[in-house]
Amino acid sequence: MTDKNNISKNSPIARYRRYLQLEKSMSANTIDAYLSDVVKLENFLEETGKDSIVAAVDDIRQFFVSLADVGIGARSRARILSSLRSYYGFLRMDEYLTDDPTEGIQSPKIGRHLPDVLALEEIDAMINAIDLSSAEGQRNRAMIEIMYSCGLRVSELCSLCLSDLYREEEFIKVSGKGGKQRLVPLSSRAIEELNAYLAERSHINIRPGCEDSIFISERRGKPLSRITVFHIVKELAALAGIEKSVSPHTFRHSFATHLLEGGANLRVIQSMLGHESISTTEIYTHIDRSRLRREIIEHHPRNKRMKNK
């Protein structure tokens, strides 16, 4: 069985990995996800005595049938197909083959998913649920405040560095997907919470090589992991009595939605979020419209009259 961590260095997959690293400048996490999807296909084909170089359209189609059979959802199957199209595009470019078997595969239909959004009062409730007497209390306050007020992905939060921080100018430099950088303004509240945390951070025993990282684990002296941030957010949501599905990404959704509700231009939100395409940002217009519809149904006098009949 093929393993993405044990690939022959001269194999097509290894060359593809180098292509993603050197020519596409993708992050390690993105490359890992792409390779994982390619390996899923290779392991499926291995059972039929084939590999990705000789696979035909029917082989790829059967692979996706098998994914559906084991309960892989449409959204995940669409992502896997996107990874395979990238891989086969590379194989054609590198002249491993002339025909792309993924061209005959239709992407699964995905219903538009409107993510949960936190109200400002719910965000404040989570921040207020933090125990400031604990060693991690002020760090967690600064972390939640920056994640929300800057609209960061959790990976961007965990990789923030002191050298990315421009406190006098009230900006922070964020390294997003594909290593693309953007400047995001810091709110006065975020600066206040961050300054309070950095005063405490100076007393942490930080491991060599990690000195530039902003958010540090008190116990390990290393940058916080995404999993740790996820657990912190889940715990705070429970303490605040929030029953919605809350994850670090919920703060990013809430940030964008609140900007849109406040009248921000969609292009500005796109820039703040680091979206390459405006179509990615446009989901927030759908969130706003769905909320508007609920408000109209609840408050419009004609709707109220019909409910009272």
| Average pLDDT by stretches of 10, the chain with 309 residues | 61 90 88 91 88 91 84 84 93 89 82 74 95 93 93 90 90 83 88 94 92 92 91 94 89 84 73 67 54 48 47
Domains and CATH numbers, the chain: 12-104 (1.10.150.130), 120-295 (1.10.443.10)
How would you list the strands of the sheet with 181-185, edge to edge? 165-166, 171-175, 181-185
pLDDT (0 to 100) of residue 38: 92
Distance CA(13)–CA(52), nearest Å, equals 10
List the catalytic residues.
Answer: 153, 177, 249, 252, 275, 284
Nearest to 235 by CA among 250, 221, 246: 246
Q: What is the pLDDT of residue 72?
A: 81
- What local confidence, expressed as pLDDT, does residue 71 receive? 73
HSE (side-chain half, CA atoms, 13 Å) at 21: 9
Q: Which two structure tokens, joined as six digits, stand for 245?
A: 């599905």
What pTM, to 2 d.p., does this model score? 0.57
